[in-house]
Amino acid sequence: MTSSPFPLSPGATIGILGGGQLGRMLALAAARLGFDVVILTPEADAPASRVAAHTVLAPYNDATALADLARRCAVVTFEFENVPAEVVAALHGLGVPTAPSDLALATAQDRVTEKTFFRDQGIATVDFVAIDSADDIVAGLARLGAPALLKTRREGYDGKGQAWIATPDEAQAAFERLGGAPMILEARAPFVRELSIIAARAQDGSVAAYPLTENTHKDGVLRVSVAPAHAKASTHAAASALARTTLERLGYVGVAGIELFELANGDLLVNEFAPRVHNSGHWTLDACEVDQFEQHIRAIVGWPLGPTEPFAQARMENLLGADVDDWATLAAEPGARLWLYGKRETVTGRKMGHVTRLSALR
């Protein structure tokens, strides 16, 4: 029997699948703890590559590249949930530990599998039906009530691949517009607020959650996160409990983000689960001793989790597209904590950076 390589010592190399801003901030956190990072990404000059020790530039499913990554790394993680789950399984098969597991990734990648998982754990979600045809939409609308939200089962994010259906005669056109792929039809969640909870599970099974975050979206994209969210103690407790159940049942290792709808009576519905660090947890960079990125690195290298209590109230605002042109003003603003992702091209709606402002805990 080979002994466990964990906890990894500083100096070990961590692989990250994906080269975006989440990978960049994970790489910075890893470097702070003395680890080297190798990025696998198909994108040349990616934001994460520019702060990492090495990049393997290849498609995620390139067998030679995966073998190279496995040889270089003591553990591999991912920052992007559309990495094929088979790639994570293949790395595991090559003998390199992976965290989170391909099971967690596969569960989150399909909205029907994901919601079925939550329902099986007794965790509330909106009502839903799986959709394979326009006729299924008509039947689903009769069951769920109108309007209902049609989403692709896979590869949707930031409100992409979604359409509200108000009447049965919209079914055919919406089915075609979303590409005829397998879909889910969801009942409309009558939420008063959108919240999220960022939680981590370590290799020893211990779980730590940050306090609830309140999120405001525009055009399906996160704009502002405020944390800790002002909510009833019972709502905070319910969120922590469902996060713990989720991570434990998946045997999860690492940080995850769970997006929630809060109903008028304080009850929570899970919207979705991100098996990675999450945009709504960026405030932890500036308001917590151990932020979500360091927490994820700690979890996957077998270190103890750090504290999750914030020392300040935080308001994080995403800099989308041309918002980033205000960098000089933000840099001159006392107390504005600026994070820029080093993206070469400004595109409308693209996440270019974020700014966090702290105030006294309420």
Residue 96, both tokens: 């390199």
Q: Which residue, 89 or 224, is less far from ligand AMP as judged by CB?
A: 224
Which residues contact residue 275 at a Cβ distance below 8 angstroms, ignoring those fewer than 6 apart?
A: 78, 81, 100, 104, 105, 107, 108, 252, 254, 256
Q: Which residue, 88 or 270, is less far from ligand AMP as judged by CB?
A: 270
Residue 166, both tokens: 């108000």
- Beta-strand relationship, 221-227 and 254-262: unpaired
Q: Which residue, 37 or 222, is less far from ligand AMP as judged by CB?
A: 222
List Cα–Cα distances, 156 to 134, 196, 298, 351, in angstroms: 19, 18, 29, 16
Instruction: Give me the least distance between CB of 229 and ligand AMP, in Å please.
Output: 15
Instruction: Give me the least distance between CB of 7 and ligand AMP, in Å please.
Output: 34
Q: Which residue, 55 or 318, is less far from ligand AMP as judged by CB?
A: 318
Edge-to-edge strand list for the sheet holding 148-152: 128-131, 183-187, 148-152, 162-165
Q: Which residue, 72 or 151, is less far from ligand AMP as judged by CB?
A: 151
The dihedral built from the CA positions of residue 324, 329, 332 and 336, taken in this order, carries a sign that is negative
Binding site for ligand AMP (CB under 6 A): 126, 149, 156, 159, 186, 188-189, 194, 217, 220, 259, 271-272
CA distance 108 to 252: 12
Instruction: Give me the least distance between CB of 197 and ligand AMP, in Å please.
Output: 14
Q: Which residue, 54 or 193, is less far from ligand AMP as judged by CB?
A: 193
Instruction: Decide: 327 and 33 in contact? Cβ < 8 Å.
Output: no
Instruction: Give me the least distance between CB of 166 and ligand AMP, in Å please.
Output: 13
Instruction: Give me the least distance between CB of 248 and ligand AMP, in Å please.
Output: 23
Q: Which residue, 170 or 259, is less far from ligand AMP as judged by CB?
A: 259
Instruction: Give me the least distance between CB of 271 and ligand AMP, in Å please.
Output: 5
Instruction: Give me the least distance between CB of 148 and ligand AMP, in Å please.
Output: 8
Q: Which of 306, 311, 307, 338 is nearest to 324 (CA)?
A: 338
36 strand-pairing partners: 13
CA distance 330 to 350: 18
